[in-house]
Amino acid sequence: MRVTRSRQRTSSSNYQSVSENDSENNCESPRTVTKSKRKKRSSETVPTTTITPTTTTSSTTKTRTCHREEQIKEISSLLICHTPFVYITGPPNSGKSYCVDQIVMLVRQSGSTVVLVDMRDVLKVQGFYHSVLSQLNDTETSRDTVTSRDTPIPDHTSDFVRLFSSSVTKPCVVVVKHAHLLNQLNSLLFASVSVLHQLTSGKVSVAMISDSPWELVYLSNGSTLSPPVIVYIPPYSRLQMVDIIAKNLLQEHSSLCTEVDFGVPELENYVRLCVYDTLAVYTSSLREMMTSASALLHKYVAPIQQGELKKTDKIKLFHRVQPELVTTMTQLSCVPSFKSSLELPYNSRVLLVCAFLASHNPARLDKRFFCKGKSSRRKVKSRKGSKLSDALKGPKTFPLDRLLAIHSSVTQDGTIPCSDILMSISSLVSKNLIVRVSVDLLEQPKYKCLAPLSLVQSLAKESGVDFEQFYYNY
C-alpha cells in the first residue's frame, strides 16, 4: 500500500506541473501529456547487472559466431563475482584467445580493473613484475603523476606483492595468457600469483589460460598451489567450424553471395566439401580455414557467374577449385616449416625418406615399387586427376612393420639393428617430422610423415636414394 500511495502522489504532482506549463503555453491537454510521459517512463530501461557476451567491440567491427557463449558467460560471471583463482584450459585452436578478449571486455564494463599479461612477451621475472605494476599504475592513477617509466621494478616476490597490494584500490582481475610459460619461468612466482587474493587485502581474481591441463601444472608444483576453478573449453566440432566459417563468409562477401544467390546452406556445403574436409588433415586452426575459404570463394563462384555451371553442381565446382587447393595447402602457416636441408645422420635421413614413401604411396602398390624383381617395377601410366585427388588427401597413416619393410627394400641391407631404427624414429618424432597417430600402447604404433616434398627430395639426393623410382606421383 505504501508503494501505491507514493506512486499516486508522484503522478499527481507531475500532473499539476504539466498542467501549469500547458496553461501558459496553450499546448495540448494535460491528460495527453501525462500519458506520453508515462509511456516514456515505461519505455526507459533500468540498468541491470546481467552478463551478456557481446561479439562486437565497436560499430565498425562485424559480429562473429563463436559457439563459445556459455564459456564466456560462465568465466566472466566467476571473475565479476571475485572468484580467487580460475584456470582456463583446452586444446590449441579451440577459441581460448577469443574468449579471453570477450571476457576482458565484459569485466572492464563491470567496473573492475583488468591487467592482461602475455607470457610470450616476458623473458624474465622482473619483466612480469613491471608489466603488472605498470598497467595498474596507468589505470588506477592519473598519467600525469605516474607513468610506466616511473614504476619501480621489484627484485623479489615479496616486494612485488607489497607494491601490488598498495596499488590496488578497487576490484582487480589479473589475466595471464600462456600460463605454462610462467610456470617454466619460475614455479614459486606461479604459486604466489595463484594466491594473490590471500596475499593482498583487496578483491583480486586471477585467471590463467594455458593449453596444458591442470594436472601437469599441479605435478610440477606439488601442494603449494591452491585448487582453482577449472573451466575446460572443448575443441570445435566439425559442425561448429563449418557453421562459423559459413556465417562469416556471408558477412564478408555479402554482395557476391547475393549475386550468386548463396545462403548459409550453400556456403556450408562449399566449406564442408572444399575447405574443411581437405584442410583438416593439415591444420585445425579456425583462422587458417577462414582465410583459405575466403580466398577460394571467388574461384568457386566464377563458373556460376559465367553461366557455365549451376550452384547445385557441387562435384564439378569442386574439380574447378582443386588446383588452387593444392597451392593453398602449401601456403598454410600452421603447416610446419622446415629448412631445405637438415643436419641428420644417414640412418635418419633414409628413414625419413621411407616414411614419406609409406605415407604418400598407396599400400596396394608396395609390391610394384619395393619388391626385388625389377620386372615388376614397371611404371604404369595413371590419370592426372587421380594423382591430384591423392595429393589433396594429404599424408596417410602407416604401421611400423610397413615402414621397416620399405626401409629394408630401399637400403637392400638388413644389417642395421632394429634398436637403431627405433631410436631414429624417436628422434624424428621429437623434431616433428613424423607424428605418432596411434594412442593405444598395446596396439602396433602408427605414424604419419609431415615432411614436405622438397625436403625429402634433398635428403634422398644426399643419401643416394633413387627417390623417383619409388615415389608414386612421378
What nine digits make up the cell of 23?
Answer: 496553461
Would you state the pLDDT for residue 174? 92
Q: What is the b/e burial string over 418-448, where b = at least 16 CB atoms within 10 angstroms of the residue's CB? A: eeebeebbebbeebebbbeeeeeeeeebbbb
Q: What DSSP string runs through 312-358? A: T-HHHHHHHHHHHHHHHHHT-SSSPP--SS----HHHHHHHHHHHHH
In terms of Cβ atoms closer than 10 Å to its own Cβ (0-12, 13-18, 19+), residue 194 is: buried
* Tally: H helices and E strands in the chain: 23, 8
**In whole angstroms, what is the distance from residue 470 CA to residue 474 CA?**
9
Q: What is the mean pLDDT of residues 359-368?
A: 85
In the block, cell 601444472 appears at 217
Positive or negative, the CA dihedral 302, 304, 309, 311 is positive
Distance from CA of residue 332 to its chain's centroid?
15
Would you state the pLDDT for residue 223? 54
Q: What is the mean pLDDT of residues 322-326?
A: 79
Would you state the pLDDT for residue 97? 86
Q: Are 211 and 99 in contact (CB under 8 A)?
A: no
The residue among 366, 372, 359, 347 whose CA lies nearest residue 425 is 347
Would you state the pLDDT for residue 291? 86
- pLDDT band at residue 389 using 50, 70 and 90 as cut-offs: low
Would you state the pLDDT for residue 29? 41
- Comparing 12 with 298, which gets the higher pLDDT? 298
**In whole angstroms, what is the distance from residue 141 CA to residue 160 CA?**
18
The residue among 336, 329, 338, 324 whose CA lies nearest residue 457 is 338
- For the chain, the residue count is 474
pLDDT at 175 over 90: yes
pTM (2 d.p.): 0.58
The residue among 288, 274, 249 whose CA lies nearest residue 65 is 249
How many Cβ atoms are within 10 Å of 123's Cβ, its own excluded? 11
- Which tens digits make up the pLDDT trace of 196-251? 888 887 788 999 999 888 888 777 766 556 788 999 998 888 888 899 999 888 88
Of the given ranges (95-104, 299-308, 319-328), which has the lowest mean pLDDT?
Answer: 319-328
- Comparing 420 with 29, which gets the higher pLDDT? 420
- Which tens digits make up the pLDDT trace of 23-57? 444 434 434 334 444 444 444 433 333 444 444 43
Q: What is the mean pLDDT of residues 55-74?
A: 64
What nine digits make up the cell of 133?
Answer: 605494476
DSSP state, residue 413: -
